[in-house]
């Protein structure tokens, strides 16, 4: 089985959770900031239209499969991804790893107050977990802006081992691309809506749906006006692109 596959011009790593943990242990020993990114169908659609995102993903040390649609697309192309590692579930394992290894976290993203609530929920389960800072994601992210500089200074003052960035796609990837060389962190992880989910502000679908790749239906039902185009049109466009890739390659 290959350790990585390619789909829509993007490399996706085929890793087990244990292998991701081993990689994190290597990354925290480095001096520079290592990116751990994740892709779902929406992200691959964005990467198809934005070369900067495609290049960022292909340059990242680890790109995890966060969506069942990606696994289906990879299978159509004749490959397999060992397993899906959605950040919304893996965040609890990450907290466990950080607690047991003595690593520190910084939670950045979502609306004011949400990161604090997410931190409280994580620490409730992992009492010795060290979360050295939180900050909301509602600030001017323009490079060089006063608020962006202030947020970077806040993160760097805390010197976390691991920074979780939850701005949503592609804002979080753009921000990491523009600022990674200035961040005094060992690992930066793209988190999407993980802070909303951990805090309880956003509810996940029933277990039988999340386990079978149908959580997007729950999100669509919850926010139809915002998400109908992403899921109904985006999923169909992605499938057609994968089929074209399969039969014209």
Q: What is the pLDDT of residue 219?
A: 65
Torsion angle defined by CA atoms of residues 227, 232, 235 and 237, in that order, rounded to the nearest 10 degrees: -120
Give the number of other CB atoms < 10 A from CB of residue 189: 26
Binned at pLDDT 50, 70 and 90, residue 1 comes out as very low
In the chain, ranges of CATH 3.40.50 domains: 4-199
Give the residue among 18, 90, 81, 17 at the shortest CA–CA distance from 44.
81
pLDDT tens for each residue of 103-149 = 999 999 999 999 999 999 999 999 999 999 999 999 999 999 999 99
Q: What is the pLDDT of residue 218?
A: 64
Q: Which fold has domain 4-199?
A: Rossmann fold (3.40.50)
CA distance 172 to 189: 9
Q: Which two structure tokens, joined as six digits, stand for 79?
A: 């490959």
Among 37-41, 85-89, 112-116, 206-210, name the one with the lowest average pLDDT.
206-210
Alpha carbon distance, N-terminus to C-terminus of the chain: 20
Q: What is the pLDDT of residue 42?
A: 95
Which pTM was predicted? 0.92
Q: What is the mean pLDDT of residues 220-244?
A: 81
DSSP state, 55?
H
Q: For residue 213, is pLDDT > 70?
A: no
Q: What is the mean pLDDT of residues 229-240?
A: 86
Could you write out the DSSP letters of every residue in 192-249? TTHHHHHHTSS----HHHHTTT-HHHHHHHHSHHHHHIIIIIHHHHHHHHHHHHHHH-
Q: What is the pLDDT of residue 120?
A: 98
């Amino acid at each position: 089985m290959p350790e990585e596959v390619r789909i829509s011009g993007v490399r996706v790593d085929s890793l087990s959770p244990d292998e991701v943990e081993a990689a994190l242990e290597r990354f925290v020993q480095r001096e520079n900031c290592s990116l751990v990114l994740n892709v779902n169908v929406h992200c691959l659609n964005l990467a198809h239209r934005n070369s900067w995102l495609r290049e960022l993903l292909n340059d990242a040390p680890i790109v995890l499969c966060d969506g069942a649609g990606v696994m289906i697309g990879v299978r159509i192309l004749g490959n397999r991804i060992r397993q899906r590692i959605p950040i919304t579930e893996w965040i609890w394992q990450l907290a466990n790893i950080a607690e047991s290894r003595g690593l520190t976290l910084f939670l950045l993203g979502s609306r004011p107050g949400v990161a604090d609530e997410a931190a409280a929920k994580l620490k409730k389960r992992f009492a010795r977990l060290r979360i050295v800072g939180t900050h909301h994601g509602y600030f001017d992210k323009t490079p060089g802006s006063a608020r962006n500089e202030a947020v970077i200074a806040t993160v760097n003052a805390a010197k976390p081992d691991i920074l979780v960035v939850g701005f949503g796609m592609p804002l979080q990837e753009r921000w990491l691309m523009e600022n990674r060389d200035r961040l005094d962190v060992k690992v930066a992880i793209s988190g999407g809506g993980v802070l909303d989910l951990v805090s309880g502000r956003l509810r996940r679908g029933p277990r039988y749906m999340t386990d079978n790749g149908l959580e997007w239906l729950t999100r669509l039902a919850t926010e139809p006006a915002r998400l109908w185009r992403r899921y109904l049109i985006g999923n169909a466009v992605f499938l057609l692109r994968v089929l074209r890739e399969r039969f014209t390659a």
